[in-house]
Chains A and B, each alone.
Chain A
Amino acid sequence: MLTVFGIPIQALLGQLLVGLINGSFYAMLSLGLAVIFGLLRIINFAHGALYMLGAFIGYLLLVHLGIGYWPALVIVPLLVGLLGMLVERLALSRLYRLDPLYGLLFTFGLALVIEGVFRYYYGVSGNPYAVPTLLAGGTNLGFMFLPNYRGWVVVASLIVCIGTWLLIEKTRLGSYLRAATENPELVQAFGVNVPLLLTLTYGLGAALAGLAGILAAPVYQVSPLMGSDLIIVVFAVVVVGGMGSILGAIVTGYMLGLAEGLTKVFYPEASNLVVFVIMAIVLLLRPAGLFGRDA
């Protein structure tokens, strides 16, 4: 059998795939955080809870209404996005003139409430969500066996990330958004409805989290705790990448996912820690983050 440093190549590729899957979710979530932070100057602690909400709505749609995976892929981001816009209008919009710490604290409270509600009604155990029949089974790539759904997750997350990047960098709406990030007063003076732009941005970020959630449902178990475990790792990803650039957030997400997968092969005990260790090293060598512009 082919080995690399004494590790069978199949095991290595298998863990790299797991890393790539995790990295896909890190990338989608840190992308949403970066989009929200860019314009609202708020760190959205509720991002993990919105991700969990996305997975749960998908699960509930299937169980109670018989709505399957493909329609859910559209419905879930819309619902989570709408909820996000509601939250922004009712609460976050009152916090913009304050210290950004209050935005973090508010969304922390929101995350506790969302998570608490689902824990209360559904307990902490995970609920399985079946892989859609179209993507069931796997493909033999010759050097390894690839479950189709996992392949789809990687492709879908790439589409989402590139799509969001194009939306922000190449469209008119995106140019308003970037302009408002630089100087909201000036953009407002040009007749752009900045408050609406803020609401839409938070909605977009929330929808991205919801979409990541429904994509994750067949891979991980649908559980109330799935978001809070993830969000702290994503924070570390964001610190490593720096929130200055959208592309930076995406690239860092995939990189750290792969690093985690590799660690699982060579030193499994440290696989939980590796992202944080990398964060510490980056802070020592390049405090602004790999792609960061701020001090």
Chain B
Amino acid sequence: MSEATLHAERAAASVRLERALVALGILVLIAAPFVIYPIFVMKMLCFALFACAFNLLLGYTGLLSFGHAAFFGGAAYFCAYAVKAWGLPPEAGILLGTAGAALMGLVMGFLAIRRQGIYFSMITLALAQMFYFFCVQAPFTEGEDGIQGVPRGHLFGVVDLGVTMNMYFFVLVVFLIGVFAIWRIVNSPFGMILRSIRENENRAISLGYSVGRYKLAAFVMSAALAGLAGATKAIVFQFATLTDVTWQMSGEVILMTLLGGIGTMVGPVVGAGLVVGLENTLATSGFPVTIATGLIFMVCVLIFRRGIVGEIHARWLGRGGKGS
């Protein structure tokens, strides 16, 4: 048997293993609400999608946005307002929130991609903080109280989302669609160009790609998917508040991605699960969450830059993630 076929067979085996793991993961998520408190799993799924959307930008395009809370929390506000004040059905509210986040992404991205590297991060942070101040003052967000008592309504006028299990499977479907979209984007020719920008922006430019446009497109897609997660969360918890637009929230999604593994498909999901779980545990213990997240940040950056999934990839599957 030649070297090439051996290699191909190994790759095929790896793909089979991956498919089996994905199928297993979906089965676990279908069974989860019967074992664990469903609201908690829904929270995890919303944050997992948020982190995956963020990772599309950081992991596959190499852009560290410090302002993703604006899309997550902004979409939550748009969706909550549309559903509560205009009486829109939930699916329309979520689509509207997603579109709103995409539009914000277009504006913020257009400004931010004018600078590179560390400046990009500072600009996104500053613009998101500007949006936060806007949300504090704008009348439609109802200030410190936030938009409370958002009706869950009936999906397509038929399925009552007030029933917890209906809500859960709707969230699961949204999550799977979102992650599938990211997977498709990453593994398309477009995604390959994004990766080439991450690896060497100047070379991508010299190959004739208009790097700015690709970055902006990735930014808008990431913002829209973060918005999808935020809008869905608003329907699940029936409120939208300032917490979701703070810079701490932007930091949290970075932590989820870093902890799980930057530039891996599954990493952000694992990271989101761990961070949400940890916060849930700490909430009852009295130990301040900020100190814990800060410490995890420092440890991850110093000795654990590949993240959990990246580390597994590197050690057992012989594939290096990004981050070393």
- Distance in angstroms between the alpha carbons of A280 and B112 in the assembled complex: 9
Contact A269 B137 (CB under 8 A): yes
- Distance in angstroms between the alpha carbons of A246 and B294 in the assembled complex: 30
Contact B117 A109 (CB under 8 A): no
9-residue interface stretch from A77-85, A99-107, A148-156, A207-215? A99-107
Interface residues of A in 217-244 (CB under 8 A from B): 228, 232-233, 235-236, 238-239
Could you say which residues of chain A place their CB within 8 Å of the CB of B119?
A: 239
- Distance in angstroms between the alpha carbons of A49 and B137 in the assembled complex: 26
Contact indicator per residue, chain A 127-171, by CB within 8 Å of chain B (1) or not (0):
000000000000000000000000000000000000000000000
Contact B288 A276 (CB under 8 A): no
Q: Which of B122, B127, B290 contacts A238 (CB 8 A)?
A: B122
Could you say which residues of chain B place their CB within 8 Å of the CB of A102?
A: 301, 305
9-residue interface stretch from A12-20, A55-63, A113-121? A113-121
Q: Assess whether B27 is interfacial by the CB under 8 Å rule.
A: no
Q: Which of B114, B117, B247, B288 contacts A116 (CB 8 A)?
A: B288
Interface SS, B side: helix
Contact A116 B121 (CB under 8 A): no
B117 to chain A, nearest CB (A): 6
Q: Assess whether A283 is interfacial by the CB under 8 Å rule.
A: yes
- Distance in angstroms between the alpha carbons of A228 and B134 in the assembled complex: 18
- Distance in angstroms between the alpha carbons of A284 and B112 in the assembled complex: 10
Count chain B residues whose beta carbon lies closer than 8 angstroms to a beta carbon of A: 38
Contact indicator per residue, chain B 60-103, by CB within 8 Å of chain A (1) or not (0):
00001000000000000000000000000000000000000000
- Distance in angstroms between the alpha carbons of A242 and B302 in the assembled complex: 28
Q: Assess whether B52 is interfacial by the CB under 8 Å rule.
A: no
Q: Assess whether A277 is interfacial by the CB under 8 Å rule.
A: yes
Q: Which of B126, B136, B258, B293 contacts A236 (CB 8 A)?
A: B126
Given A105-B254, A235-B126, A283-B115, the answer on whether A113 and B291 have CB atoms closer than 8 Å is yes
Interface SS, A side: helix
A78 to chain B, nearest CB (A): 24
Contact A112 B297 (CB under 8 A): yes
Q: Smallest CB-CB separation from B291: which chain A residue?
A: A116
Contact A95 B301 (CB under 8 A): yes
Q: Assess whether B197 is interfacial by the CB under 8 Å rule.
A: no
Contact B115 A239 (CB under 8 A): yes
Q: Which of A110, A119, A269, A288 contacts B298 (CB 8 A)?
A: A110
Q: Assess whether B317 is interfacial by the CB under 8 Å rule.
A: no
Contact A276 B294 (CB under 8 A): no
Could you say which residues of chain B place their CB within 8 Å of the CB of A235?
A: 122, 125-126
Could you say which residues of chain B place their CB within 8 Å of the CB of A91?
A: 298, 302
B246 to chain A, nearest CB (A): 10
Q: Assess whether B133 is interfacial by the CB under 8 Å rule.
A: yes
Q: Which of A110, A239, A269, A287 contacts B126 (CB 8 A)?
A: A239
- Distance in angstroms between the alpha carbons of A98 and B302 in the assembled complex: 11
Contact B290 A115 (CB under 8 A): yes
Q: Assess whether A273 is interfacial by the CB under 8 Å rule.
A: yes
Given A235-B125, A279-B126, the answer on whether A116 and B298 have CB atoms closer than 8 Å is no
Contact B294 A100 (CB under 8 A): no
Interface residues of B in 5-57 (CB under 8 A from A): none
Q: Assess whether A94 is interfacial by the CB under 8 Å rule.
A: yes
Contact B64 A276 (CB under 8 A): no
Could you say which residues of chain B place their CB within 8 Å of the CB of A228?
A: 247
Q: Assess whether B118 is interfacial by the CB under 8 Å rule.
A: yes
Contact A232 B301 (CB under 8 A): no
A122 to chain B, nearest CB (A): 12
Could you say which residues of chain B place their CB within 8 Å of the CB of A284?
A: 111, 114
Contact A116 B133 (CB under 8 A): no
Contact A272 B133 (CB under 8 A): yes
A12 to chain B, nearest CB (A): 23
Q: Smallest CB-CB separation from B322: which chain A residue?
A: A99
Contact A276 B129 (CB under 8 A): yes
B201 to chain A, nearest CB (A): 11
- Distance in angstroms between the alpha carbons of A91 and B297 in the assembled complex: 12
Q: Assess whether B123 is interfacial by the CB under 8 Å rule.
A: yes
Contact B130 A109 (CB under 8 A): no
Contact A277 B301 (CB under 8 A): no
- Distance in angstroms between the alpha carbons of A280 and B67 in the assembled complex: 15
A4 to chain B, nearest CB (A): 26
A30 to chain B, nearest CB (A): 11
- Distance in angstroms between the alpha carbons of A116 and B248 in the assembled complex: 12
Q: Assess whether B277 is interfacial by the CB under 8 Å rule.
A: no
Q: Assess whether A108 is interfacial by the CB under 8 Å rule.
A: yes
Show 6 residue pairs from A and B whose CB-CB distance is below 8 angstroms, ordered by the A residue.
A95-B301, A100-B118, A109-B296, A113-B295, A233-B126, A279-B127
Q: Lowest 6 A-B CB distances belong to which pairs?
A: A109-B297, A112-B294, A116-B290, A113-B294, A116-B291, A276-B130
Give the interface of A toward B (CB within 8 A): 37, 43, 91, 94-95, 98, 100-102, 104-106, 108-117, 119-120, 228, 232-233, 235-236, 238-239, 269, 272-273, 276-277, 279-280, 283-284, 287-288, 295
Q: Known pairs A236-B129, A284-B114. 8 more at Cβ < 8 A?
A: A91-B302, A113-B294, A114-B294, A233-B129, A235-B126, A239-B119, A269-B137, A283-B115
